[in-house]
Amino acid sequence: LNRDVPDPLLLRLAGIVGPDHLLTDPDMTSGYGSDWTGRFRGSPRFVVRPADTAEVAAVVAECGAAGIPVVPQGGNTSLVGGATPLHGEAVLSLGRLSEIGAVDPAGQEVLAGAGATLAALQDAARPHGLRFGVDLASRDSATVGGMAATNAGGIHVLRHGMMRAQVAGMEAVLADGSVISRLTGAGKDNTGYDLPNLLAGSEGTLGVITRLRLRLVPDPSDRAVALLGLRSVADALSLVGAARAALPGLEAAEAFFQDGLELVCAHAGVAPPWPEAHAVYVLVESAGTGDQLSPLAEFLAERPEVGLAAAVAAEARDRERLWAYRERHTEAVNAAGVPHKLDVAVPLAALEEFLARANETVSTVEPNARVVTFGHLAEGNLHVNILGLEPEDERADEAILRLVADLGGSISAEHGIGVAKRRFLHLTRSAADIAAMRALKAALDPRGILNPGVIFP
């Protein structure tokens, strides 16, 4: 690819987006060059900030013709280095495509620009008694385009599924600048390949998502949260299994451990929920119309796994206080160092064995490393954070990912492959799978313009 930006290209790009939205000064572009964790850093060749689909299409066509690779970037909250221009690529920032259309209360859908943040989408849905089914702690920055591109998961997957399940339609720009669009909102549409479904989870390698038709769900008026300190992972799993059967409003079942709790308390300056330590902490939330607290409390009172370490809350402020112990893990880990972040899933039957072996696996490789694990219990999805490793030292990452593969799991449950895990893709995808994915990439982006180096080694 052409390494020297010809000035005429910059002139043409400035003509498309306006000179204020083409950034070339390193002081202005550096913020787009590193990822949220600080582990991945690069220098964008330039940053271009189009305002609509036509501008995105024109920019991609120009960059493609000049052989300049492009990294689409939304809120830049990727935890796998997927939106970082590691090799001087151009950054295509989608933040200005933030328009959110009128909510359709009958169809329970809304049209949103790819750059709209999750928080803005929730704000738009709320007055209609609706909300968006995916929720993440990065909600103030993460964009719906980035969330679709990564097929984000989050804390309500148990009830509403992942991002792909919320996408009712999509418009996107392909590597040659052409626009594909399936936004009409027809409730059923079996006309050939489902391109939105293909682009969801493609991490900006197959197309640039510009607009989405998104499903909304009723916003429950009542909620109750319980935080429990339990004796074992086996108890945690049996409790959550029973809760799924007994509580129709169950929408979150999260887990964390003593070392993570201590990190959060120190970082946030808050007291732990109980003075004594517990083997595992489980947070469950039930939401619906009408009292949620009584059914949740009654359920917990009858469960043999639950002891004295149990707190329930229905008022918003109390619920937030309990949620903070779980939600502040990511920032507390980041404040403690530059983590290697592994987001894995293992079958529930193997979860206890994975947790029992994970620390030992890491310490065999690097005795000084520290492992902080938390995650979404119902899906066997654990965020394994390893502190104390050099950014380039992937020996412990590999050992953990091999353990996951041996136990029949996935090396990426919800964050994607990005650049952080591309070397390990073969651990849980077959040679035939990878060949099929490469064939799709080659067909849609033969010159490797979109996010080169992401997903594939």
Ligand X SMILES: Cc1cc2nc3c(=O)[nH]c(=O)nc-3n(C[C@H](O)[C@H](O)[C@H](O)COP(=O)(O)OP(=O)(O)OC[C@H]3O[C@@H](n4cnc5c(N)ncnc54)[C@H](O)[C@@H]3O)c2cc1C
With binding defined as CB under 6 A, does residue 451 bind ligand X? yes
Count of residues in contact with ligand X, rule CB under 6 A: 37
The answer to whether 140 and 222 have CB atoms below 8 angstroms apart is no
- In Å, what is the CA distance from 270 to each residue of 279, 322, 328? 20, 11, 11
| Of 96 and 244, CB closest to ligand X | 96
With binding defined as CB under 6 A, does residue 209 bind ligand X? yes
With binding defined as CB under 6 A, does residue 410 bind ligand X? no
Measured at the CA of 92, the angle between CA 46 and CA 154, to 5 degrees, comes to 135
State which of residues 9, 68, 120, 136 lies at the interface with ligand X (CB under 6 A). 136
**Phi and psi, residue 212, nearest 5°:** -135, 140
State which of residues 208, 280, 345, 384 lies at the interface with ligand X (CB under 6 A). 208
With binding defined as CB under 6 A, does residue 63 bind ligand X? no
User: Which residue, 257, 293, 250, 307, is CA-closest to 278?
Assistant: 257
- Non-local CB neighbours of 456 within 8 Å, separated by 6+ positions: 205, 422, 425, 434, 437, 438, 441
The residue of the chain with the least Cβ separation from ligand X equals 146
Burial 319-351 (b: 16+ CB within 10 A, else e): bebbbebbbbbbbbbbebebbbbbbbbbeeebb
Nearest distance in Å: CB 364, ligand X: 29
| Of 196 and 388, CB closest to ligand X | 196
With binding defined as CB under 6 A, does residue 78 bind ligand X? yes
Q: Which of residues 1-60 bind ligand X (CB under 6 A)?
A: 36
Q: Which stretch binds ligand X (CB under 6 A): 46-54, 141-149, 174-182, 267-275?
A: 141-149
- Non-local CB neighbours of 351 within 8 Å, separated by 6+ positions: 233, 237, 380, 382
Nearest distance in Å: CB 312, ligand X: 23
Nearest distance in Å: CB 210, ligand X: 7
Nearest distance in Å: CB 383, ligand X: 8
Which residue's entry shows tokens 């669009």? 181
- Non-local CB neighbours of 253 within 8 Å, separated by 6+ positions: 158, 240, 243, 244, 282, 283, 284, 376, 377, 378
- Number of helices and strands in the chain (H, E): 16, 17
With binding defined as CB under 6 A, does residue 149 bind ligand X? yes
- Non-local CB neighbours of 19 within 8 Å, separated by 6+ positions: none
With binding defined as CB under 6 A, does residue 77 bind ligand X? yes
User: Which residue, 187, 172, 323, 159, is CA-closest to 250?
Assistant: 159
User: Which residue, 136, 125, 57, is CA-closest to 92?
Assistant: 57
Token pair recorded at residue 182:
């399936």
Q: Which stretch binds ligand X (CB under 6 A): 123-131, 145-153, 278-286, 297-305?
A: 145-153
| Of 86 and 250, CB closest to ligand X | 86
Q: Which stretch binds ligand X (CB under 6 A): 2-10, 143-151, 248-256, 346-354?
A: 143-151
With binding defined as CB under 6 A, does residue 138 bind ligand X? yes
The answer to whether 378 and 158 have CB atoms below 8 angstroms apart is yes
User: Which residue, 160, 157, 310, is CA-closest to 231?
Assistant: 310
With binding defined as CB under 6 A, does residue 425 bind ligand X? no
With binding defined as CB under 6 A, does residue 94 bind ligand X? yes
With binding defined as CB under 6 A, does residue 111 bind ligand X? no
Nearest distance in Å: CB 334, ligand X: 8
State which of residues 147, 200, 236, 263 lies at the interface with ligand X (CB under 6 A). 147
Nearest distance in Å: CB 342, ligand X: 13
With binding defined as CB under 6 A, does residue 412 bind ligand X? no
Q: Which stretch binds ligand X (CB under 6 A): 100-108, 142-150, 178-186, 234-242?
A: 142-150
Q: Which residues bind ligand X (CB under 6 A)?
A: 36, 71-79, 82-83, 94, 114, 136-138, 141-143, 145-147, 149-150, 152-154, 203-204, 208-209, 330, 414-415, 451, 454
